[in-house]
Amino acid sequence: MRLQKDIQSLDFEEVELDSKSVGSLWTPDVFFPNEKEASYHNIMSPNRMFRLTKNCTLNYTVRLTLKLSCVMRLHSYPFDKQTCRLHLESFGYDAQQINLHWTKEDTPIGMNITSLPQFEVVGHDFDNFFSDHRIRGNYSTLSAQFDFRRNIGYYVVQMYIPTLLIVMLSWVSFWLNVNSVPGRVTLGVLSVLTISTQSSSVNASLPRVSYTKAIDIWMATCLVFVFAALIEFAIANVLTRKGSHKGIIMKKLIKLAKEVREKALMRNNQGVMASSDPDGLRHRGSVSSDETNGNKKETVVKMDAGVQLQKQRSELEDKPAFEKGMLYAMYCDVASRILFPLVFAIFNVVYWVYYINILNY
């Protein structure tokens, strides 16, 4: 910080005072209203100095380290632009006693560094005005405004590209066999957990704000896509089993229990059991040995001593329904191979166009 004051006339070229002599002179009681932490530089001696020149100018220079408060709006984070201000005014002398103003230079504050690790300085402005305090009165105030733009390179490499690859990795399950249950479940669950961990690490270094940020929209969308890929596998797996247990209802369970009981009675009666039928047929409970390929035959003895072999329901009759379910599951996977990348590509176009072009990042 450097303060300057004009004096009427002097009879010498220049006078300089060191830090020890500065303490015995009067200095303005200026302070920074938006300061949070501040410290003087005292290594190896207090870094402050007075200089009185022949053209009647008194310069007071001191080295300070300041941490200033800056209200940030993170709606577009990490595509955001921030404006931070530095205010300087007298604490005890009002505007009638001290009038502060910037020097007539184009840049009163040196701008040697215009790029920071996370931000880039894209503009600055300097102004002086009067601040009206209800108790203290009217004071002269200096204001310096700095416009920052966040550097997005770090976030592209550390956040956007990894999450993009994780989403694409979750689509690999669409090319795996439907019956590869352990592989597809493991791939889907790990993708969901990785996206959740990545989102938590992003928000850990940010203030806890109640509104949605641009990075939140990206992370939430990626989480939805990897979770949808896991749900798609569940649907495909259900389709493969569609029809394989068709007819296993209470009525068939009762009928199955009845057949088991009848077979037990037939074994007790040396394999023969007679039963009456409304159509005048007599059924023999013995079962022929022709049960290859899941076919069972029942011997039917008619009243006129005729014999008829009646084919029972084959277990292979369920095979067409099972194959139909497998076909539906394959269609679901093929549709997902096209639909998921297409929708995600549309989201990327809208997302990047909006935050880079529309917001003039």
Is residue 354 located within the same domain as residue 276?
Answer: no
Whether 329 is covered by a domain: the verdict is yes
User: Can you name the residues that pair with 131 across neighbouring β-strands?
Assistant: 139
Q: Which among 37-41, 77-81, 128-132, 259-263 has the top mean pLDDT? A: 77-81
Distance CA 195, CA 222 (A): 7
Q: For tokens 């493969």, name the residue.
A: 240
Whether 344 is covered by a domain: the verdict is yes
Q: Once rounded to an integer, what is the mean pLDDT over residues 331-342?
A: 92
Q: Once rounded to an integer, what is the mean pLDDT over residues 90-110?
A: 79
Q: For the chain, what is the mean pLDDT?
A: 77
Is residue 59 located within the same domain as residue 171?
Answer: no
Domain count, the chain: 3
Q: Return the amino acid letter for 259.
A: E
Listed residues 105, 134, 153: the one ending a domain: 153
pLDDT tens for residues 139-181? 888 898 989 999 888 899 999 999 999 999 999 989 888 888 8
Is residue 37 located within the same domain as residue 103?
Answer: yes
Distance CA 94, CA 106 (A): 27
User: Within 13 Å, how many C-alpha atoms sit on residue 36's CB side?
Assistant: 5
Percentage of residues of the chain with pLDDT beyond 70? 71
- The CATH code of the domain that includes 215 is 1.20.58.390
Is residue 261 located within the same domain as residue 279?
Answer: yes
- Residue 53's pLDDT is 74
Domain with 33 in it = 2-153
pTM above 0.85, yes or no: no
Is residue 17 located within the same domain as residue 144?
Answer: yes
Closest to 153 (Cα-Cα) out of 118, 200, 193, 203? 118
Q: Is the pLDDT of residue 343 over 80?
A: yes
Q: Is the pLDDT of residue 244 over 60?
A: no
